[in-house]
Amino acid sequence: MTLMRVRAAAQLTLPAEVRKALNVKEGDYLEAEIVKGGVMLKPVAVVERERAWRRMQDIASRVKDLKPIAGEGHVKKEQGIADEVVKMRRKRRKHA
């Protein structure tokens, strides 16, 4: 167990072993959550909104509209999508 001391302006210094275990470095963000008996720190990724929005627009611009497959109605397509969702949920549950 490592002790930390609260310094001026309520600052804490994370010990090297904690930084290494969380894989955090100077400038990274941590989310603090009050839990029973203490505080839990979790590393989080923060993305600038404008940059994220531009990236989303770039990705969306690459989406191509495919012509419908002859003889395949929208009900059949929707059922195929629903089947894939069920498969992915089952797969996730196995890995959780």
Domains and CATH numbers, the chain: 1-90 (2.10.260.10)
Cα 43 versus chain centre, distance:
11
Q: How confident is the model at residue 9 (pLDDT cuts 50, 70, 90)?
A: very high
pLDDT beyond 70 at 28 = yes
Across the chain, mean pLDDT equals 86
Q: How confident is the model at residue 37 (pLDDT cuts 50, 70, 90)?
A: very high
pLDDT beyond 70 at 71 = no
d(CA 88, CA 37): 36
pLDDT beyond 90 at 63 = no
Please name the residues in contact with 57: beta carbons below 8 A apart, sequence gap of 6 or more. none
Predicted confidence at residue 49, as pLDDT, reads: 87
